[in-house]
Structure 1
C-alpha cells in the first residue's frame, strides 16, 4: 500500500482545526504538575459534594507515588487499578505514572477467572481496589504476581457527614460492610497518602516509547489482550480531542464523568481531557439517570461524554422535563452506534450538540468524530482527526477502495498503539505496512465522511461494553448438558445489542435457561451473560462443520423486521 493517501475529509475542517499538530513530547503526568504549579487553587474535581484543587490532587498523587516506591515499584512495573470513578481513581492513576509505573486498568465487574488472567498476563505487582472487591482480589492473589494490595472505600473521599452515613447505605445496597485485613501486604489507601511525602521522584522517561498504560481488550480468541499505549499515544489523542473542540471555553468547562475511567474512552475524553485542558470534572461512581440529571443541573455540566445507552436512559426518564439541562453544550457519543432519534431528542431537551465518534482501544481510543459545528451526515462516524490517516482496504486489491466501496477500515496515526503485550504474533497480524487493521467493515463517501456497516470480527457491543462471543461460548461448553453453543448479538432498543445464545443439548441431558443463566453468572461478568437462549436440534454449518454465525444473525434480523 502506498505511503500517501487521499484525504478528502480535510476540505471539511473548520479553519480553527489544524490538519497537523505539533504535540508536546512529554509524559502524561506533566499536565497535572503544570496545572498544580500554574493554577494551584483551581478546582479539578467534584465528587458527591467534595472538591479537590489541582494542587491537592497533585500533592496526593505525589504522596501516593512515593508510597508505591516504598513498596518496591520501579520504572516500568505494572500497577493495577480496580476502582469505580472516585477521586482515588484519579490520584492512583497519576500517582502510578509519577512513580514511573505502567497503569493496568481493571474492570471492577471482572469475576475471579477474568481478574486472575489479567494479573498473570500483565505481571502487575500492586493492586489498588475498592473494599467491596477486596475478597475477590484475595481469592486470586496467590495465583498471580501481586505483592501488595491497597484498599480504599467510597467513603474515604466523601465530605462530612456523608462519610459517616455511607457505610449504612453500603450495607443496605450490598448486604454487607466489607471487612479488610490490613497487614504487611494489605494497605489502606488513605494511610499510604498520609504517611508519604509529596516530593518529586526523578524519572527519565521516553514519552514515545515508554508505556503509560496496558489497556485490556478482548479478541476473537476470547482471551483479553493488553494494548500497549505510550505516553505519547495518550498525549496525542487527548490533544487531538482538545483541538477538535475549538469553540469550547478552554479551562472553564465542566465535564460530567459518568463513563468509567477504567475504560479507555472515559479515561481519555473524561479524565485526561479535564487535566490537560484544565477543566473541572464532576465524577459519578456509576451511571444513574437521576444522579446524572441532578449533577447536570446542580454543577452546570457543559460537556458530557457518554454512550448511547446513557442518552437513551436520560431522555426516557419520566422526570427529565423537570430538570434544567441548558448548561449542556457538547455531548460526545461513542462505544456503539447512536440512533438518530436519540440524538435529535437529546439535543432538543438540552439545546446542546450530541455528536457521534469512533475509536478502538488500540487507538487510545478516538480516530474519528463528527463535526460539532458543521455538517453531520446521518449514520456517519465522522471525519478522521488531525494527523490520522484512514483508508478502506479493498479485499480484492489490497489497495485503498473507491468511495462507497465497502472494505476493512485501517488507521495510521500518533494515537495508534505499540502493539499487544507479550503477543508479537498477534501484533504482527494486526498491522499491515504500518497501518492498524481494525477488523471493522465500512466505507468512505465522496466527501471523506466514514461509515461503519459491519464487523469483520464477531464482537457484540451491549450497553457500551465490548463482548466477544468466543469467551461466552467457551463457558457454555463447560456445562455438561451443552453439546454446541454459539453466542451472537441481537438488536436491543436500549443496549444497542444484547447477547443471545443458541444451544444444542447433549443427548440424554436436560438443562433450562435458568440453569444456564446461573452457570454463566458464576463464570462471566454480568454484562457478558446471555439475556436470551434458544434451544435447537442443530445449528447451521458450513461443509467443514463451522457454525454459520451470520445465518443466525440474519434470522434474528428477519424476526426483528417482522415484529417491528
Structure 2
C-alpha cells in the first residue's frame, strides 16, 4: 500500500492545516463562488498561501479579542466559507471551535449554547436580528463577536481589528478536544460531538489513501456543509496533495453550472440530495459535468439512478463515483466505487466494503449477540476515529455501547468479503416493510420525474410516500399506480415542493419531523371537526 508523502504526526490539527499546505504548495489556486463574508474585499481568487495568511490573521484578531487556549468558541453565522476559516483560526489560537450550522433554528441554538456552558460566540448581525432574536445570547455566552461586516449594537466586528499582532499557532495535546460538531438532528435536538485531534487523524488516514490516485492532477470542487467534520477532512486530503480547489456555498444547479463550465473540475463532492438536484446538469448547455472523472459521495446512501446519470454525463474515460458510508460519530466505515457498467447493477443498499485495517464491524441481534454472515441485524463498530463523548450528555453516549462496541443505529447485514448492505435506520422501520430505503430506490428508478421520495410512518403507522417532482409538476396517478403495483401496500402519496421538505445542514431528510407534522395535522383536523360539530 502506498502512503502519502507527508501526514500529520498522528494528529490532525485544523489550526495548522492551511499553513502546512502553503509550505508545500503555496501557489495552488483556491476559487470561491462568493467572497468571504467577513473580509469581502479580498475577492474570490486565492492561493493556499493567501488563505493560510487569512487564517493566521483571523487567529490574531481573535486572540486580541481575548480568545485563549482550551476555551470553546461557537461559530454560528450565515452560510459562507468564512465559517471554515474562522474555525481554523479558532483552532490556531488553541481554542476549540464548536460548529453550529447556519440552518439550525434559534431555539435549538439556544439549547446548544446552554450545553456549552458560557462559550464564546462568533455570529453576525443577520443571525442576531433573525433566528436568534429573542434568544438571551449575552447571558448564554462569555462574549459575542461579529463576523461579516454588518454592525449590531455594541458588539465588536472581527473585520475591524486590522493590524492585530501575529502569533505562533497553539497545539493542544492530541487527546484533548479539538473540534465540536453536532449531529444532524433528524430525530430531535442535535447532540454535540467532541472530536480529538487523534480521532480526526484516524479518520483522515483512510481518506488520504483512497484519494492518492488524484493527487495534484485534478481540480476539486467541494459544495458541502461548512460545519461538518467531513468538510474539514476533504480539505485535509486535498490540501495535503496540492489539488486546485473550487469551494461553493450555493448548490443550486443554475449556480453550479457556470462555475463548472469555467473551471472544469475533475472531482466533485456534495451531499447525495444535492447530487439528485445536479441530475439537471446532465443535459445542460455547455456540458458542465463533462470534465468530471470522480464523483465523491458521503453523508448518506445515494440513489442508483443518480449514480447512472452522473456517470453518463462525464466525457472522461472510465469515470467513477466513490461512495463512503459513515457517521458523524465514527467517520468513514465502508467504501464502494461504481463505473458506468457496475452502476447499472447497483441495488442502492450496497455501501461497499468495510475499510480493512481501520474499522471493525459486526452485526448483532436484538439481544446484542453476533449473527451469521448474511443475516440482518443491528450494526456495531470499533474504530479509532470515534468521538470521545456527547458534550453534556455523557450517559447518553455510554448508552450506545454494547460490550465495547458502538451501536450505529442502522440495520444491515454483511455479505461476502465483508461487503456491507444497509436496510434502514432503526428508528425509521415501518411495519412489515423490509426496507424503506430500498422502496425509495425502486420508485426513483421507475419514475424519472421524481426529484425525491421519502417513505415515513403516518399517524396510524402506515407507510406514507412523500414525493417531490421536478419543477413541482403534478404527479401522474396512473404512472404512480403502475410503478407501485408490485410493491408493498403504500398510503396515497403526499406531494410536497422539494424546498419545503425539512432537512438537516447536510440535506438529510428529517423523517421524524415529517411524521410529527402528519400527526399534528391530523390532531388539528380532528379538533377543527369537533369545534364545527
TM over 0.5: yes
* Aligned equivalents of 1:444, 1:411: Cα separation in 2: 13
Q: 1:264/1:490 Cα in 2 relative to 1: closer, same or farther (>3 Å)?
A: farther
2:295 corresponds in structure 1 to: 331
2:197 corresponds in structure 1 to: 231
Q: C-alpha displacement at 1:375, in angstroms?
A: 7.0
Does structure 1 retain, via aligned residues, the 8 Å contact 2:334–2:353? yes
**Secondary structure, counterpart of 2:221 in structure 1:** strand
Equivalent position to 2:145, from 146, 149, 152: 149
Matched, 1:197 2:165: yes
1:75 corresponds in structure 2 to: 69
1:108 corresponds in structure 2 to: 102
Report matched runs for 1:429-508 at 5 Å.
429-458=399-428, 490-492=465-467
Matched, 1:357 2:351: no
* Aligned equivalents of 1:428, 1:85: Cα separation in 2: 33
1:261 corresponds in structure 2 to: 226
1:287 corresponds in structure 2 to: 251
* Aligned equivalents of 1:403, 1:58: Cα separation in 2: 49
Deviation per CA, 1:175-224, whole angstroms, max 9, x where unpaired? xxxx62353xx2223223x23123314x34211x1112111115687232
Does structure 2 retain, via aligned residues, the 8 Å contact 1:254–1:281? yes
2:446 corresponds in structure 1 to: none
2:476 corresponds in structure 1 to: none
Q: C-alpha displacement at 1:117, in angstroms?
A: 1.0
Q: 1:238/1:217 Cα in 2 relative to 1: closer, same or farther (>3 Å)?
A: same
Q: C-alpha displacement at 1:42, in angstroms?
A: 2.5
Report matched runs for 1:72-151 at 5 Å.
72-83=66-77, 86-123=80-117, 125-136=119-130, 137=132, 139-140=134-135, 141-151=137-147
TM-score calculated relative to the size of structure 1: 0.70
Does structure 1 retain, via aligned residues, the 8 Å contact 2:281–2:289? no
Q: C-alpha displacement at 1:372, in angstroms?
A: 5.7
Structure 1: gaps of 5 or more residues? 1-14, 154-178, 474-483, 496-519, 539-564
* Aligned equivalents of 1:404, 1:315: Cα separation in 2: 33
Q: 1:415/1:315 Cα in 2 relative to 1: closer, same or farther (>3 Å)?
A: same
Does structure 2 retain, via aligned residues, the 8 Å contact 1:125–1:146? yes
Q: 1:419/1:302 Cα in 2 relative to 1: closer, same or farther (>3 Å)?
A: same
* Aligned equivalents of 1:313, 1:489: Cα separation in 2: 23
Q: 1:78/1:220 Cα in 2 relative to 1: closer, same or farther (>3 Å)?
A: same
**Secondary structure, counterpart of 1:316 in structure 2:** helix
**Secondary structure, counterpart of 1:89 in structure 2:** helix
Deviation per CA, 1:23-79, whole angstroms, max 9, x where unpaired? 633523333221222332332443446212222222221222222222222222111
* Aligned equivalents of 1:383, 1:412: Cα separation in 2: 15
* Aligned equivalents of 2:501, 2:376: Cα separation in 1: 38
Deviation per CA, 1:398-422, whole angstroms, max 9, x where unpaired? 3432221101111222211112112
Matched, 1:43 2:13: no
Q: C-alpha displacement at 1:134, in angstroms?
A: 3.2
* Aligned equivalents of 1:537, 1:104: Cα separation in 2: 38
Equivalent position to 1:385, from 337, 355, 380: 355
Deviation per CA, 1:428-485, whole angstroms, max 9, x where unpaired? 11123332210100001122210110111349999999x9x99xx9xxxxxxxxxx99
Q: C-alpha displacement at 1:381, in angstroms?
A: 0.8
Q: C-alpha displacement at 1:339, in angstroms?
A: 1.5
Does structure 2 retain, via aligned residues, the 8 Å contact 1:76–1:102? yes
* Aligned equivalents of 1:218, 1:443: Cα separation in 2: 24
Tell me how many residue pairs correspond in the alignment.
452
Report matched runs for 1:400-415 at 5 Å.
400-415=370-385
Q: 1:251/1:126 Cα in 2 relative to 1: closer, same or farther (>3 Å)?
A: farther
Does structure 1 retain, via aligned residues, the 8 Å contact 2:58–2:86? yes
1:506 corresponds in structure 2 to: none
Equivalent position to 2:54, from 60, 63, 68: 60
Q: 1:314/1:537 Cα in 2 relative to 1: closer, same or farther (>3 Å)?
A: closer
* Aligned equivalents of 1:56, 1:395: Cα separation in 2: 53
CA RMSD of aligned residues (A): 4.0
* Aligned equivalents of 2:422, 2:218: Cα separation in 1: 31
**Secondary structure, counterpart of 1:362 in structure 2:** coil
Deviation per CA, 1:301-352, whole angstroms, max 9, x where unpaired? 1221122322221223586253242221111123333121111111000243
**Secondary structure, counterpart of 2:329 in structure 1:** helix
Q: C-alpha displacement at 1:105, in angstroms?
A: 1.0
* Aligned equivalents of 2:272, 2:228: Cα separation in 1: 15
**More deviation in 368-377 or 409-418?**
368-377
